[in-house]
Structure 1
Amino acid sequence: MTDYWLVRYSEIFLKSNHVQKRWVNKLVDNIQKHIPNCHVKTERGRIWLYGDVEPEKLKNVFGIRSYSPCIYCPLDELSKCLLEYCENKNFGDVQTFALRIKRVGAHDFSSQDKARELGNLIRKHYPHLKVDLDNPEKEIFIEIRDSDCYLFSEKIAGPGGIPLGVEGSLVALMSGGIDSPVAAYMMMKRGCSIIPIYVDIDPYLGEKGKERAFKVVDALKQYQPGIELEVIGDDYLYTAKKILKHYNSDKYTCLICKRRLYRIAEDLANKYKALGIVTGDSLGQVASQTLDNLYVLDEATNLPVYRPLIGFDKEEVIDIARRIGTYSLSTISTGGCGAVPEKPATKAKLDIVKSFENLYNE
């Protein structure tokens, strides 16, 4: 039986006391959004959950370093509780063990004193056991906090990062492919709430692309409950592509298109007071993501464009996509974009691209 779940955080410790308090409160709020029926209490460096806890959801709450199922007992019953715990953990079947004790509060013993006392107690009941502090077969952690004790033997890794929302929000251009949901996830992990947007480029994208984007965003709800995809229809490219073909400059299609997407994303960011745009660009991965072309793209918006995957290779991105549960959805066939030229520009010049945009606006 588990009485409590101990939740640990890491990066929050690096902040000032004021920021720590605010970030811990945000982490608690996020935990309760994922697990609405659990109860929470906090102490310095620790968050305790009890009641109707769904521990599998903790692996999706950013800011959690690790968590453990704990047995509670009062300090004056620790020896008895420890022996019962050892029996439940089958200490008779192993040869080595270790106790790890942390203590908070005023006591007439040190952590080392209590470790020796309890270690001797265990060895008395299990004479074959030896203490091995470096590589034990069984390990029990005991936290003594004033007159309360918590016993656990398992540390489950959380997702790490910092609490979702402490850094504000970003608009995420969401194609639904492999890269864009991973980029959104990476910025979520760094404390950014995401506003995903799918631009329906009429008539070059079919319904399957939009359906895929919805499915991918649904998968991201496990990390940001309540996230919803905003769909915006736009026929800008239809006229722009006619102009490019007229001047035999179809190679600039993708850049003209993405600059348009950035402007749409900027409008949405201004509406929701978001602080930037996130994309799934990785340097050199496709024609529009060369260094020259990224420079051309960034000029289209006054907002910062965040590219958390910029230095990743494709296999690294795929590994993350598999781990976060978006890969199988992102690889659903959609037929692709019908506007992509046969030979897209890789070293575009900003003045040339802007001259074609000016023709559209005339």
Structure 2
Amino acid sequence: MKEIILCKYGEIALKGLNKSTFESMMVKTIKRRLASAGEFRVTKSQSTLYVEPLGENPDVDEFETRLSKVFGIVKLCRSGAIEKDLKAICEQAPEYLAEVLEGARTFKVNARRADKKFPQKSPEICSELGGAILDRFPHLEVDVHDPEVTVTVEVREDYAYVHSDPVDGAGGIPVGSSGRAMLLLSGGIDSPVAGYMMARRGAVVEAIHFEAPPYTSDRARMKVETLAKLMTAYCGDVKFFCVPFTEIQELLRDNCPEELFTILMRRLMMEIAQRICEKDGDIQALVTGESLGQVASQTMYAMVCTDAACRMPVFRPCIGMDKSEIVEIARKIGTFETSILPYEDCCTVFTPKHPKTRPSLAEVEKAQASFDFEPYIQKAVENTSVTLIKNR
């Protein structure tokens, strides 16, 4: 019996005349993500994508793991494809699901007859298959309210697909359906989560990192590159920009009020990021991992001063989240353990002892205007390195 993974989606099914565009994007993403896992075939029908691993002894577990990280897929059902005949279903389904049923105590059968030409109706399918399962596994009991295992039969166009409880997908909408955005990627916990959340809403995520050697080490940069690599499992390939920022930070330290250092630094980061976006092409927004009130530079007053330096929208998907919520997502996407490695990034260099939490825009702009940063901004842009960090 061949195995086929049914990939089901949620809000994409509601996209009306644009549905096929979203489906095509998701199919392209699936083909890219699975390319190194082995041969496979992808087809689509009835708001479902069918991924069929091909060849001898395909690693279906690996296919399923990779598909679970493709945005747009809400549920994954690893299914046995059986001839559309009730006798065949009753003979083959218990054997296909033997491993999961042997370890359970209760079950129920759920039938979905998408092909209305199939002669038996759903209640008859449930009754016959339920009896066959009880004959094969006499230790089981039927529990229609709270079963340990739900056996589902989906009678569709080509086959009857039999599976147990589905696996959660990544949800969201396909990467590439919502434009491109530049993520300010530090070595912390929050910014990779912000990038993940933007990709989940369809954005192609690029990443920009500011390094300050010798105050930051090569290991700090390697840590951030590792975070970008981990993000590719969900976001796809990431174009990684690394900006030399030491000189600008030293100039800030020597020429500006200490209590405004972090806000001025972030304004200059935003300016550099915007220029790189304009230079690189069609990037519509900046993204940060800021959460309101988390640190001094993330008060509403500070963000107003930061945004005043921006010509582009700044998205902050973590803005209303508690730290515990951000950490939970970081653990889920596999970035947390790397984020907490003890290698400092440039945001922790020259941190003021008493940062101002309620700065006014007038005083911040006056402090920035007291020194001509323009040639140093342009120099940083020109000396920025670019690396493509690929998925797999």
User: What TM-score do the two structures reach when normalised by structure 1?
Assistant: 0.90
Equivalent of residue 105 in structure 1, options 112, 115, 119: 115
- For residues 250 and 129 of structure 1, the distance between their equivalents in structure 2, rounded to whole angstroms, comes to 70
Counterpart contact for 1:217–1:228, Cα < 8 Å: no
Query: Does residue 20 of the first structure (1) align with residue 19 of the second (2)?
Result: yes
CA–CA separation in structure 2 for the residues paired with 1:325 and 1:129: 37
Q: 2:123 and 2:93 mapped to 1: Cα distance?
A: 20
Q: Residues of 2 paired with 1:93 and 1:225: CA distance? A: 37
- Residue 186 of structure 1 aligns with which residue? 197
- Residues 80-114 of structure 1, C-alpha deviations (whole Å, 9 max, x = no match): 34333214544688664322111223414432343
Give the number of equivalent residue pairs: 356
| Contact 2:207–2:240 (CA under 8 A) maintained in structure 1 | yes
**Residue 8 of structure 2 corresponds to which residue in structure 1?**
8
For 2:284 and 2:102, the matched residues in 1 are separated by 58
Which of the residues 79, 82, 92 maps onto 2:90? 82
Question: Cα gap change, 1:95/1:175 in structure 2, threshold over 3 Å: closer, same or farther?
Answer: closer
The runs of 5 or more residues in structure 1 that have no matched partner are none
**2:81 partner SS:** strand
Corresponding residue for residue 260 of structure 1: 268
Alpha-carbon distance between aligned partners in 2 of 1:302 and 1:257, rounded to the nearest angstrom:
17
Give the match for residue 211 of structure 1: 222
Query: Judging changes above 3 Å, is the alpha-carbon distance between structure 1 residues 202 and 335 closer, same or farther for their aligned structure 2 residues?
Result: closer
Q: Over residues 2-22 of structure 1, what are the superposed CA-to-partner deviations in whole Å (9 max), with x where a residue is unaligned?
A: 521111111212221x22111
Contact 2:109–2:151 (Cα < 8 Å) also in 1: yes
CA distance in 1, matches of 2:132, 2:217: 70
1:30 corresponds to: 29
Q: 2:255 aligns with which of 230, 243, 264?
A: 243
TM-score, scaled to structure 2? 0.84
Measure, in 1, the Cα distance between the counterparts of 2:30 and 2:258.
50
Asked whether the 8 Å contact 1:164–1:191 carries over to 2, the reply is yes
Q: Answer whether contact 1:296 1:349 (CA < 8 A) is retained.
A: yes
Q: Give the letter for the 1:6 counterpart.
A: L
TM-superposed CA distance for 1:329, in Å, is: 1.0
Q: Superposition pairs for residues 63-142 of structure 1, below 5 Å?
A: 63-76=72-85, 78-90=86-98, 96-107=106-117, 108-120=119-131, 122=133, 131-142=142-153
Cα pair 1:106 1:146 within 8 Å, conserved: no
**Structure 2: runs of 5 or more not aligned:** 55-59, 374-392
Report if aligned partners of 2:187, 2:344 keep a CA contact under 8 Å in 1.
no
Alpha carbons 2:106, 2:147 under 8 Å: kept: yes
Q: Which residue of 2 aligns with 1:46?
A: 48
- One-letter amino acid of the counterpart of residue 71, structure 2: F
For 1:259, give the aligned amino acid. Answer: R
Of 132-141 and 292-301, more deviation after overlay is shown by 132-141
Question: Match for 2:309 among 288, 300, 316?
Answer: 300
Q: Alpha carbon RMSD of aligned pairs, Å? A: 2.3
Matched, 1:171 2:173: no
1:222 maps to amino acid: A
Tell me the secondary structure at the aligned position of residue 242 of structure 1: helix
Distance in 2 of aligned mates of 1:265 and 1:284: 23
Partner of 1:59: 68
Give the Cα–Cα distance (whole angstroms) in 2 for the partners of residues 95 and 257 of structure 1.
Answer: 60
Return the alpha-carbon distance in structure 2 between the equivalents of residues 84 and 263 of structure 1.
Answer: 63
What is the deviation of 1:201? 3.9
AA aligned opposite 2:44: T
Quick one: structure 1 residues 94 and 236, their matched pair in 2 at CA, closer, same or farther if it must change by over 3 Å? closer
| Distance in structure 2 (CA, Å) of the matches to 1:82 and 1:92 | 17
| CA shift for structure 1 position 255 | 0.6
CA contact (8 A) 1:171 1:268 kept: no
SS at the partner of 2:249?
helix
The range that moved more, 45-54 or 332-341, is: 332-341
Q: What amino acid maps onto 1:304 in structure 2?
A: P
Aligned with 1:48: secondary structure?
A: strand
**Structure 2 CA distance, aligned partners of 1:130 and 1:80?**
23
* Aligned counterparts of 1:302 and 1:101: Cα–Cα separation in 2: 54
Distance 2:213 2:49 in 1: 49
Distance 1:82 1:207, change over 3 A: same
The 3 A distance-change label for structure 1 pair 321 and 127 is: closer
Q: Offset of 1:301 from its aligned partner?
A: 0.5
Deviation at 1:355, TM superposition (A): 1.2
